[in-house]
Amino acid sequence: ITAVADSFWVKKSLTLTPADLASLAVWLQLPWSVKMVVSEIVDCVAIVGSRRRVYVVIGAGLIAAGLLLLAGAASGTVTAVSPERAYVIAQLLVVAGGIIQEVVADAMSAEVVARAGADGLPRAAADVDRDLAMVQVLARLGYSIGAFLVGWLAGLLAEALPYHVVFLIGLVVPAVSIAGALIVGLPVEA
């Protein structure tokens, strides 16, 4: 939702050069290389008795903090740091939150497939693998359709609204994540 406004704001208001942006892009991709480490932490380290719900909230909180910082920098209300520095910090927060959210989503997508049949007996490995593959296909299909629709919406919003307002609208995404984590009945240990 915020990517188009982000691009226009960077070009219009910030003094980052193309080289600065390319360097930042490399640094923003680097945390994805430790995604497997984050996955192990999410699977093994329970926080307040939770290995899923708390991490969803942490990830959403980091994304929300990044979006709030972007909105504050774009509106001129954040003055403690330069807009360029605020932009870099905000992007790092959003990436960190996104990694945590994706790791939890990956872990939970594997948990939705039943390992035992209605009779309580273990299902055949081939059947479980087929169902897991279908979950992944449906997730990617849903993601692709959502990305297309959100891209269209992002263009409309960036054209019609001030950039800081678009960044604030982006807070809907972490709010939905937090609401889902609080509403969905996950087992206590999950």
Question: What confidence tens digit (pLDDT) does each residue in 70-107 have?
Answer: 999 999 999 999 999 999 999 999 999 999 999 998 88
Which percentage of the chain shows pLDDT scores above 70? 97
Alpha-carbon distance 184 to 74, whole Å? 35
Task: Supply the pTM of this predicted model.
Answer: 0.85
Locus of tokens 């497997």: 36
Predicted confidence band at 153 (pLDDT cuts at 50, 70, 90)? confident
